[in-house]
Amino acid sequence: MSEFANPERVVTIVKAALLLIAGLAVAKISGKAVDRTFRKYLSVQRGFIAGRVVYYAITVLVLISVLRQLGFEFTVLLGAAGVFTVALAFASQTSASNLISGVFLMVEEPFAVGDLIKVGETLGEVLSVDLLSVKLRTFDNLFVRIPNETMLKTEVTNLTRFPIRRADIQIGVAYKEDIGRVRDILLEVAKKNPHSLEEPRPLFIFKGYGDSSLDMQFSVWTLRENFVEFRNTIYLEIKHAFDRYGVEIPFPHRSIYTGSVTEPFPVRMVGGDLPPKPEYPEPPQPSAHYRPPKSSAIVEEN
């Protein structure tokens, strides 16, 4: 109580409190300003990490200044900070790994907020890239949190990295169809579709002979924002065009022939008699000299 009654001590505490409040306010304002600047000229991730670095750096300096204002020795503070850092590292190894992985993700920037990415079996839109995790929203409106360490170790596919995308359409037609005619029909469909790009040009690839169809791939480019609508419309237009020009899309079937291909496969019902009964040996007959024992009793019914 004597320390608080000392006017000089009270003034010191008030100065330290004012320094703490002002320093934290400056740290917050500076962090937000740096964040906005980096977001405007660079990217959201780099703005976030730059703002966080500035905020924490100013906060640490403010705390050191406040403690020195209160009379703590700087060397003692460094020793305590070292012990605290070691203890914290052992207690939160997973968090530290996620933190370091988050810094690598933000520096490398394989995706940005708003991108559509696929991580393993999870497909969703990036909501935020934080220091410990990446948060996604799936197409069925589910919230998914993925640790940064997992993101760094897992293959990530960015579906919206580039302004255009290619739709690969797998098609099979009957063996009787003319491949050149089918190609011309597909090119006509792509030309009439409003979302199809002229450059790069559509690509037609004959892939080979399937079990019941001639297999081919038709690849068409479209703008990224039109990809979903384009896939829906192009499939319907191809089906309508095939129906209009009489192009057959076969279903899997198999024909079996023997001998000449013009002769039907013979089928014969095979039957037979029942299998013979097994022959068992006859039981031995009693001997003519056989006599029942005297103790035996024979009961006859009249």
Mean pLDDT in residue range 5-9:
69
Contact 148, 133 (CB under 8 A): yes
| Nearest by Cα to 128 from 55, 59, 49 | 49
Lowest mean pLDDT among 164-178, 204-218, 244-258, 259-273: 259-273
User: Are both 96-161 and 164-245 of the same fold?
Assistant: no
| Predicted pLDDT at 76 | 62
Q: Is the peptide bond before 284 cis (omega within 30 degrees of 0)?
A: no
* Domain 164-245 indexed as CATH 3.30.70.100: yes
List pLDDT tens digits, range 150-205. Answer: 888 889 999 888 899 999 999 999 999 999 999 999 999 999 999 999 889 999 99
In angstroms, the Cα distances linking 108 to 39, 78, 105 are: 16, 33, 5
Q: Where are the domains of the chain?
A: 7-72, 96-161, 164-245
CATH code for the part of the protein at 96-161:
2.30.30.60
Residue 121: phi and psi, rounded to 5, are -100, 5
